[in-house]
Amino acid sequence: MARVRKKERQELLREAVREKPFLTDFELAEKLEVSVQTIRLDRLELGIPELRARTRQMAETAQEKVKTIRQDDVVGELLDLELGTSGISLLRITEDMVFAKSHIAKGYYMFSQANSLALALIDAPMAVTGVANVKYKVPVHVGEKLIARAEIVRVRGNKYFVWVKTRSDNREVFRAKFILVSLEEE
């Protein structure tokens, strides 16, 4: 990247954080080819919070929107939610989530993250999972951060077709297609 002026660099920074809010200062510095200190100064000047604060703000906003399940039933941190459309959650794999012998994450954690995120998307008082088609693509280990992105791709009556793709860094580790059914309150 050719050397850019401050205003241009700050606009690039703003755009990078808008597109990928989970980039660290180090990753932003590499991307913009400047020092970490320059990124921190630019963030302060632009009013862009640090990564932890950005994550916390997103999570608080998203949590308030959930209707179908209780907020504490969501596996991982709910980071973004557009009710009836799409959502994002984050799950950090810890030592207690892996098999002792292989140190590979137990699949039900990835499934639970995806399933609870899919349920959180539904704009109804209650919903259940009718069908789940899942694919575990690569092993996941302690310390990995799983970002699940869910999207409602079709609605037919009270059935919601939801696709969830989970990534760790730049690789897809899990994907699922769900058919969720909203239940009418009696």
For residue 15, the domain's CATH number is: 1.10.10.10
Task: Give the structural domain span for 32.
Answer: 6-48
pLDDT at 122 over 80: yes
Supply φ then ψ for residue 50, to 5 degrees: -65, 170
In a shared domain, residues 128 and 36: no
- Report pLDDT for 68: 65
- Residues 67 and 149 both lie in one domain: yes
Residues 29 and 63 in one domain: no
When the pLDDT of each residue in the chain is averaged and rounded to a whole number, the result is 87
Gyration radius of the chain over CA positions: 19
Report which residue type is found at 49: P
Task: Compare 169 and 186 and report the one with higher pLDDT.
Answer: 169
pTM, entire model = 0.68
Over the stretch 67-85, which tens digit does the pLDDT of each residue have? 666 677 889 988 888 888 9
What pLDDT digit, counting tens, does each position of 41-62 carry?
988 888 888 877 776 666 565 5
pLDDT band at 186 (very low <50, low <70, confident <90, very high): very low
Q: Is the dihedral of CA 150, 153, 159, 163 positive or negative?
A: negative
Identify residue 130 by its one-letter amino acid code. Answer: G
Instruction: Give 44's contacts (C-beta < 8 A, 6+ positions apart).
Output: none
Q: What pLDDT sits at residue 1?
A: 53
> Does residue 25 sit in the same domain as residue 88?
no
129 pLDDT exceeds 90? yes
Of the pLDDT bands very low, low, confident and very high (cuts 50, 70, 90), residue 4 is confident
12 and 102 in a common domain: no
